[in-house]
Amino acid sequence: MCARQRRNFLQAPVSNQGMTTGHKQAELNVTPLIDVLLVLLIIFMVSVPNHSVGLDTAVPQEPSSAAQSLVPNPRTVVVSVAENGSLTINSKRVDAAQLGAELIRIYVTRGEKVLFVTGEKDTEFQKIAAVIDVARGAGITHVALLKPITLID
**Is position 37 within any domain?**
no
C-alpha dist (Å) from residue 26 to 17, 23, 29: 10, 10, 9
CATH of the domain at 138: 3.30.420
* Predicted TM-score (pTM) of this structure: 0.53
State the pLDDT confidence band at 29, using cuts at 50, 70 and 90. Answer: confident
Q: How far is the CA of 101 from the CAs of 14, 48, 95, 143, in angstroms?
A: 87, 41, 10, 17
Structural domain includes residue 128: yes
Indicate the pLDDT class of residue 93, thresholds 50, 70 and 90: very high
107-141, pLDDT tens digit by residue?
Answer: 888 888 888 998 888 888 899 889 999 999 888 88
Q: Domain span at residue 125?
A: 79-145
Q: Is residue 17 part of a domain?
A: no
Residue 120 lies in a domain: yes
Q: How confident is the model at residue 72 (pLDDT cuts 50, 70, 90)?
A: low
> Is residue 83 in some structural domain?
yes
Domain count, the chain: 1
